[in-house]
Amino acid sequence: MRVAAVGSALPPHYYDQEALLGALRKAWAERHHNVGRLEALHRNVLVGGRHLALPMEDYDGLTNWGAANDAWIRVAQEVGEQAVRDGLKKAGLPASRIDALIFVTVTGVATPSIDARLCNRMDLRSDVKRMPIFGLGCVAGAAGIARAADYVRAYPDQIAVLLSVELCSLTLQREDLSIPNLIASGLFGDGAAAAIVAGSEVDLPGPEIVATRSVFYPDSERVMGWDISERGFGIVLSADVPQVAEQHLGHDVDAFLEDQGLKRGDIAHWISHPGGPKVLEAMQRALGLGEEAMAESWKTLREVGNLSSTSVLLVLEATMEQHRPEPGSYGLMLAMGPGFCSELVLLRF
Active site residue 138: yes
Cα atoms in the 13 Å half-sphere on the side-chain side of 293: 21
User: Interior CA angle at 318 toward 109 and 279, to 5°?
Assistant: 65
User: Of 119, 138, 168, 341, which residue is the catalytic one?
Assistant: 138
Rounded to whole angstroms, what are the CA distances from 282 to 41, 140, 296?
A: 18, 20, 16
pLDDT of residue 176: 84
Considering the four listed CATH numbers 2.30.40.10, 3.30.70.1350, 3.40.50.11890, 3.40.47.10, the one that applies to the domain covering 208-348 is 3.40.47.10
Tell the CATH superfamily of the 2-198 domain. Answer: Thiolase/Chalcone synthase (3.40.47.10)
pLDDT number for residue 4: 98
* Residue 126, pLDDT score: 97
Per-residue pLDDT of the chain (349 residues; tens, 9 = 90+): 999 999 999 999 999 999 999 888 887 776 655 667 788 888 899 999 999 999 999 999 999 999 999 999 999 999 999 999 999 999 999 999 999 999 999 999 999 999 999 999 999 999 999 999 999 999 999 999 999 999 999 999 999 999 999 999 999 988 888 888 889 999 999 999 999 999 999 999 999 999 999 999 999 989 989 998 888 899 999 988 999 999 999 999 999 999 999 999 999 999 999 999 999 999 999 999 998 999 999 999 999 999 999 999 999 999 999 998 999 999 999 999 999 999 999 999 9
At 24 the pLDDT is 87
The dihedral of CA 93, 203, 205, 153: what is its sign?
A: positive
pTM over the 0.85 mark? yes
Every domain range in the chain assigned CATH 3.40.47.10:
2-198, 208-348
